[in-house]
A and B are shown apart, each in its own frame.
Chain A
Amino acid sequence: MPTKRFYRLLLLIIILWMFANQTQVGWLYVIVSLLVGTVVMSWFLNRRGIHSISAVREIDYRESYSEGESLEIDLHLDSSSPLATQQLRLDELCPVADPEEEQFLQHWYIPNLSIERFNINYTIELYKRGIFEFPAVEMTSRFPFGIFERSNYSENLVADSGLSILVYPEVRPLARLPLLDRQPSAQMVQPRAGMGNEFLSLRQYRYGDSPRHIHWRSVARTGRLVSKEFVDETLPGMALVIARNSVGVDATGDQLDSPNQLTFRWRRPVPEELEYGQSKHTPFETAVKIAASLGDYALRRGHPLMIVDEDAPRGAVTADMLLQYLARVELKEELTFAEQIGRIQQTYVAAVLSHPTQKEIDELHRLSQRGHEILAVCIHDGREKGCNQQLYLLPTDDERIEVHQINIGEDWTDIIGGAA
């Protein structure tokens, strides 16, 4: 891609050539020839040089990544030719880093690639939950004199270009949760993994498990004893629901201060699924964290946990299933809160409302009147104008419904049940 400098040089060459014709000064032809030689070789070296560099991104592999953990990323640059480009510009977009931090989008300039392999290493803190795909490393070269510019996005330059990672939301272990703590819990060891008949999951065989519940296919596959686990119907289940309806939600406050800055600095189109520019300090993100912590508490207490959402796994979920769901869940415009909670059968209901409305409170009120014990966590975005004012009336005469109101930025563990 010719730069402005190329066109200026071209103009100079043409003028000098015409001037040489006019004046018949032989050396002007020599100067023109030297300039043309420089331009031609710049084009050749620019093209050749960038193709001689390959980049590989290596990420510390784990089975799962959680928000707030640190992650080490290595970039390896290999030059395969003595004519490999110098003055290399490298643009690295790390989607799992904090968009406000420098490490989210880094620009490096390598003036001289005189060794065969060049390593760049950096560590980031996983910013927020979600599924993230690393884009290819963008390598740009205006080498040697800024006459031509060439970027390379081909797949062979970045071995791990297809790598995507799933980051689980942050889980804050709660010390107590009145909703569940009010009920007696089973203290004795059950003779079988769960007293109910509904299959929950597979787990490692423990002493005392019935041989009839050994899952022989898994034993054959893994070589270890694996036992089926069933829902423990002696404990009442808890339904977890996150209000996902985004109608009427003003999400402008969820954006970073300067969201366009990213597209300005990053010349490639930003993949839509990456949600770049979205902050984690939003009501919905807080709701996800709270839901994860509530679910974690219920599972630790041995309560069967059901997620009330059409996109969630059916039936009781394990901790891993819960986090996988919460890592992906997003606001959904066509889903109303009434539709979400209409199918709840469990005794206990934990509802997290990221943008609470009177209508949602009323729905919960109706649910409690049907005999459900309800914990409602209402999140308020203190950044929005007027949002610190309560926009709904809480049911005062309903003992079955417990409402916690949380402002973003507050330590909600104490409000809900205290940190473990």
Chain B
Amino acid sequence: MTSLIARYRERQAAPAETSFELRRWLFYGMAASIVGLALTAGITMWPFAAVALVVLWFGQRYAGTHCEEPNPKVKRRIFVLLHVAFVYMLVGIGAGLPYPQGQMAMLGMALISWEMINRGNMYTGWLFVLANLHATATLSRGLLFFCPLLVAAGCFLAFMWTVEKLDAAEAGYKTIAQPNPTQTTSNRWWLKFGGMAFAVAVIVFVLMPRLTGFPIVPPFTLRIPMQGGPQGQIINPAVPLVQVEGVSQGTSEYYHGFDSRLDLSYRGGLSTATMMYVRSPARSYWRSHAYDFYDGRSWIQSGGDAVEIVEKPVTEVSFRLTEDVPLGAQFTQTFYVVNDLPNIAFVGGTPVELFIPAEQIAIDSTGGIRLAETLDAGMTYSVRSTVPTFNRDLLRLTGRDYPLDIREKYLQLPPTVSQRTADLATELSADHDNAFDKVKAIEAHLLTTYPYDFFPPPQKPNSDSVDQFLFVDQTGYCEHYVSAMVVMLRTQGIPARLVSGFGSGRYDRINNLFEVRALDAHSWVEVYFPGYGWVPFEPTPGWDGTPQVEGLGRSVLSGFAGGLNLPAIPFGTVASAITAGLSLVMAPLIIIVLVVGLFFGLRWIWQKYQTYMDNLPPAYTSLQEDSTPSRSQVLRHYRRVQRKRKAVRQPEQTTHEHAAEHEHFDELADLVDIAAYRPEPPTAEELEKLKN
């Protein structure tokens, strides 16, 4: 610690950096990061970016001109302004303003630029640039970020180039002027270097191993947690299409699968609006919940709104969804909600831990996670999951000893199910003696026999939806395929259920994001296998992807090393323990820090007061031991008047010399002399003059 303090002091004592060339490159780099953040975050950020750029410009100019004799007042003002910006950020988070952290980052960097006195400070400035670029990278959804990134990188290299030049001069090297100066060679060199470095970067990008991550979560969330307790009812904020006689040709963001009831007679397309982005090292379907009860026309959850409430312990930063974490690889997904979504937490794989700003969540009977509020645009949450692995051969060996509760719930069939549906299922599975092959046979039949159609004919009254799909319309959308498969499996005594959620979405390799649009809303089948649990299957044709979790193979080496089977980063567990530990000690730590800060703050104020008193003209300091109130009253008044009239008496002046230079001090000077030197303190009559 001592050496750290010594190094800090040494750094503070480093010579002032007077090179404006260096400051220019740093300014450009900082400006690029601010503009990049504003470009990425949107129009709401531009006013803050403009303010930050102006502050930055003046800051660098001030630091450059005053670096050898910085004004301590400016330092204090910057300190105060930084805290104002921080408070603004906290208020912004509470008020739901867009990206208050980003605004704080921009303004903070601009304010810090006033303090960039020496070269060490300037390197710190580049770390701020990096932090801003990271914030921008997190928000980036396209390729536009590449422009500010390249500009900032170029400025950084130019900065280093200039540092090299200055270092040589400081080391005593004498620069020899070139006889015929030209920029051509230098420009060509930069072009060659840029081209070659970029080529190497591309190769490195392709080859770079990418490991699965563990979410870095602060020990306390800066977001205001969701209010209220979670409820069993699903609230879908999207507006359903108005249907005329059950028919509609339009599209919307409303997916009827994100509701308490899934009506198979619903017709309508889904828009291409982006609903959320998912950052994940693995491709997966993003599951919401499942339906177990089929009534011939719709699916519902038999348990109704019954849910199990899970509370987050005070000492934890996340919800532990299961005590027995399944073995196998783990991966973490982070969901960035773009469009309002239902009060359901979407998850990939088998979730074991949920990081979300909430105090309570609820889990329904099918494993769906319900929240107290809908997922509003701007919400971010993370889920850590295990990757379920299924071995076909082992699944084939499973028996039919289903638990009673599984049999009761997931073999249910309504009387509307036709015999021909059961016959078709029997026919398809007749050649197979185990459940897995029967499932695959029915899945293959659905995948290859029926064309996909968003707008099949309307559901006929008093008809069974599955029967109409299989034998009448012979076309439909995913819920029809899934319903048909679940019903056919149940006729064969195999427990199955319909699951809704989103497909993987489009993968963007650069941003490492899955863009999930409204039309990625989807349903699929889960089949129960004793000893393994629920295994997903996909009977819908033309659907891109598979419900099984699979590694992305995002680089050559990650595929070589086995993709998701790469060892988990060891400090994942450590980070978890640290965050948990920090959570435990955070409250008392904050109190201790506040108390200590208050103590030192008061001490600092007291010292300042003492210094102020010590610097007062000698005539008054000599009176400090005499605490006669009337004397102190006169002297305080004298000081106040001096401050008010901006006519401070110099130490070498007597009160009357001072009064001779300034108006309105004559009588007061007499009184001050009385208070200072007369053995008797000022009388009440004399004090009365003060009021006049």
- Chain A interfacial positions (CB closer than 8 Å to B): 5, 17-34, 36-38, 40-41, 44-45, 82-83, 86-87, 89, 106-115, 118, 120, 142-146, 265
**A141 to chain B: closest residue by CB:** B164
List the B side residues contacting A144 at CB < 8 Å: 157, 161, 164, 193
List the B side residues contacting A29 at CB < 8 Å: 205, 208, 210, 512
List the A side residues contacting B211 at CB < 8 Å: 21
* Distance in Å: Cβ of A276 to nearest Cβ of chain B: 18
With A110-B176, A120-B176 as contacts: A21 and B213 at CB distance below 8 Å: yes
The answer to whether A25 and B512 touch across the interface, beta carbons within 8 angstroms, is yes
Q: Would you call B334 an interface residue if the criterion is a C-beta within 8 Å of the partner chain's C-beta atoms? A: yes
List the B side residues contacting A38 at CB < 8 Å: 153, 157, 197, 201
- Contact check: which of B165, B199, B204 meets A87 at CB < 8 Å? B165
Interface residues in B95-149 by Cβ distance below 8 A to A read: 133-134, 136-138, 140, 145-146, 149
- Contact check: which of A31, A33, A34 meets B137 at CB < 8 Å? A31
26 A-B pairs in the complex with CB atoms less than 8 angstroms apart: A20-B210, A22-B216, A23-B216, A23-B279, A24-B280, A24-B512, A26-B279, A26-B510, A26-B512, A27-B140, A27-B510, A31-B149, A33-B202, A34-B201, A36-B204, A37-B196, A37-B197, A38-B157, A38-B201, A83-B189, A108-B174, A108-B175, A110-B176, A114-B184, A115-B179, A143-B164
**B173 to chain A: closest residue by CB:** A109
With A21-B213, A86-B189, A115-B178 as contacts: A26 and B511 at CB distance below 8 Å: yes
List the B side residues contacting A19 at CB < 8 Å: 134, 216
Q: Would you call B172 an interface residue if the criterion is a C-beta within 8 Å of the partner chain's C-beta atoms? A: yes
- Contact check: which of A28, A40, A87, A118 meets B134 at CB < 8 Å? A28
List the A side residues contacting B136 at CB < 8 Å: 27
The answer to whether B197 and A146 touch across the interface, beta carbons within 8 angstroms, is no
Q: How distant is the Cα of A17 from the Cα of B205 in the complex, in angstroms?
A: 11
List the A side residues contacting B279 at CB < 8 Å: 23-26
With A27-B145, A37-B201 as contacts: A22 and B213 at CB distance below 8 Å: yes
Q: Would you call B305 an interface residue if the criterion is a C-beta within 8 Å of the partner chain's C-beta atoms? A: no
Would you give the 0/1 interface string for B507-523, flagging 1 where the beta carbon is closer than 8 Å to chain A?
01111110000000000
Q: How distant is the Cα of A144 from the Cα of B192 in the complex, in angstroms?
A: 12
Q: Would you call B579 an interface residue if the criterion is a C-beta within 8 Å of the partner chain's C-beta atoms? A: no
- Contact check: which of B140, B163, B186 meets A86 at CB < 8 Å? B186
List the A side residues contacting B214 at CB < 8 Å: 22
* Distance in Å: Cβ of B217 to nearest Cβ of chain A: 10
The answer to whether B510 and A45 touch across the interface, beta carbons within 8 angstroms, is no
Q: Would you call B424 an interface residue if the criterion is a C-beta within 8 Å of the partner chain's C-beta atoms? A: no
Q: Would you call B687 an interface residue if the criterion is a C-beta within 8 Å of the partner chain's C-beta atoms? A: no
With A87-B168, A143-B164 as contacts: A30 and B193 at CB distance below 8 Å: no
**A12 to chain B: closest residue by CB:** B130
Most B CB within 10 A of own CB, among A33, A87, A106, A120:
A33
With A34-B153, A41-B200 as contacts: A146 and B511 at CB distance below 8 Å: no
* Distance in Å: Cβ of A267 to nearest Cβ of chain B: 11
Count of A-B contacts judged by CB separation below 8 Å: 170
List the A side residues contacting B202 at CB < 8 Å: 33
Q: Would you call B171 an interface residue if the criterion is a C-beta within 8 Å of the partner chain's C-beta atoms? A: yes
List the A side residues contacting B173 at CB < 8 Å: 89, 107-109
Q: Would you call B569 an interface residue if the criterion is a C-beta within 8 Å of the partner chain's C-beta atoms? A: yes
List the B side residues contacting A34 at CB < 8 Å: 149, 153, 197-198, 201
Would you give the 0/1 interface string for B458-499, flagging 1 where the beta carbon is closer than 8 Å to chain A?
000000000000000000000000000000000000000000
* Distance in Å: Cβ of A69 to nearest Cβ of chain B: 25
**B194 to chain A: closest residue by CB:** A41
The answer to whether A145 and B134 touch across the interface, beta carbons within 8 angstroms, is no
List the B side residues contacting A115 at CB < 8 Å: 178-180
List the B side residues contacting A23 at CB < 8 Å: 138, 213, 215-216, 279, 334
List the B side residues contacting A265 at CB < 8 Å: 172
List the A side residues contacting B569 at CB < 8 Å: 18, 21-22
The answer to whether A107 and B172 touch across the interface, beta carbons within 8 angstroms, is yes
* Distance in Å: Cβ of B171 to nearest Cβ of chain A: 7
* Distance in Å: Cβ of A125 to nearest Cβ of chain B: 20
Most A CB within 10 A of own CB, among B146, B200, B509:
B200
Interface size on B, residues (CB 8 A): 66
**A38 to chain B: closest residue by CB:** B197
List the A side residues contacting B512 at CB < 8 Å: 24-27, 29
The answer to whether A109 and B186 touch across the interface, beta carbons within 8 angstroms, is no
Q: How distant is the Cα of A142 from the Cα of B165 in the complex, in angstroms?
A: 10
Most B CB within 10 A of own CB, among A26, A87, A120:
A26
- Contact check: which of A28, A40, A109 meets B175 at CB < 8 Å? A109
List the B side residues contacting A143 at CB < 8 Å: 164
Contacts A22-B214, A87-B164, A87-B165 given; 18 further ones with Cβ under 8 A?
A: A22-B216, A24-B280, A27-B510, A29-B208, A31-B137, A33-B208, A37-B204, A44-B196, A86-B185, A89-B168, A109-B165, A111-B175, A112-B178, A112-B185, A114-B182, A114-B185, A115-B179, A146-B160
Q: How distant is the Cα of A114 from the Cα of B189 in the complex, in angstroms?
A: 10
- Chain B interfacial positions (CB closer than 8 Å to A): 133-134, 136-138, 140, 145-146, 149, 153, 157, 160-161, 163-165, 167-169, 171-176, 178-182, 184-186, 188-189, 192-193, 196-202, 204-205, 208, 210-216, 279-281, 332, 334, 508-513, 569
Q: How distant is the Cα of A28 from the Cα of B205 in the complex, in angstroms?
A: 10
The answer to whether B137 and A41 touch across the interface, beta carbons within 8 angstroms, is no
Q: How distant is the Cα of A255 from the Cα of B345 in the complex, in angstroms?
A: 82
Q: How distant is the Cα of A28 from the Cα of B508 in the complex, in angstroms?
A: 14
**B123 to chain A: closest residue by CB:** A8
List the B side residues contacting A37 at CB < 8 Å: 196-201, 204
Q: How distant is the Cα of A373 from the Cα of B160 in the complex, in angstroms?
A: 74
The answer to whether B205 and A30 touch across the interface, beta carbons within 8 angstroms, is yes
With A40-B200, A83-B189 as contacts: A146 and B149 at CB distance below 8 Å: no
Q: How distant is the Cα of A263 from the Cα of B175 in the complex, in angstroms?
A: 22
With A22-B216, A37-B204, A112-B185 as contacts: A107 and B509 at CB distance below 8 Å: no
Q: How distant is the Cα of A252 from the Cα of B508 in the complex, in angstroms?
A: 75
Q: How distant is the Cα of A38 from the Cα of B332 in the complex, in angstroms?
A: 31
List the A side residues contacting B181 at CB < 8 Å: 112, 114
With A23-B138, A31-B133, A107-B173 as contacts: A146 and B213 at CB distance below 8 Å: no
Q: How distant is the Cα of A381 from the Cα of B181 in the complex, in angstroms?
A: 53
List the A side residues contacting B163 at CB < 8 Å: 146
List the A side residues contacting B172 at CB < 8 Å: 107, 265
Most B CB within 10 A of own CB, among A29, A87, A106:
A29
List the A side residues contacting B205 at CB < 8 Å: 29-30, 33
The answer to whether B138 and A41 touch across the interface, beta carbons within 8 angstroms, is no
Q: How distant is the Cα of A114 from the Cα of B134 in the complex, in angstroms?
A: 38
* Distance in Å: Cβ of B119 to nearest Cβ of chain A: 12
The answer to whether A27 and B511 touch across the interface, beta carbons within 8 angstroms, is yes
- Contact check: which of A21, A31, A118 meets B210 at CB < 8 Å? A21
List the 6 closest pairs (A to B, CB-CB), nearest first. Answer: A26-B512, A37-B201, A27-B137, A114-B185, A109-B173, A37-B200
List the B side residues contacting A40 at CB < 8 Å: 197, 200, 204
With A27-B137, A27-B510 as contacts: A142 and B164 at CB distance below 8 Å: yes
List the A side residues contacting B189 at CB < 8 Å: 82-83, 86
Q: How distant is the Cα of A38 from the Cα of B153 in the complex, in angstroms?
A: 10
**A32 to chain B: closest residue by CB:** B208
The answer to whether B216 and A36 touch across the interface, beta carbons within 8 angstroms, is no
Q: How distant is the Cα of A259 from the Cα of B610 in the complex, in angstroms?
A: 53
**B137 to chain A: closest residue by CB:** A27
Q: How distant is the Cα of A111 from the Cα of B175 in the complex, in angstroms?
A: 7
List the B side residues contacting A32 at CB < 8 Å: 204, 208
List the A side residues contacting B182 at CB < 8 Å: 114
The answer to whether B165 and A25 touch across the interface, beta carbons within 8 angstroms, is no
The answer to whether B513 and A26 touch across the interface, beta carbons within 8 angstroms, is yes
Most A CB within 10 A of own CB, among B145, B173, B178, B182:
B173
* Distance in Å: Cβ of A121 to nearest Cβ of chain B: 11
* Distance in Å: Cβ of B129 to nearest Cβ of chain A: 11
The answer to whether A22 and B215 touch across the interface, beta carbons within 8 angstroms, is yes
* Distance in Å: Cβ of B157 to nearest Cβ of chain A: 6
The answer to whether A109 and B168 touch across the interface, beta carbons within 8 angstroms, is yes
**A20 to chain B: closest residue by CB:** B210
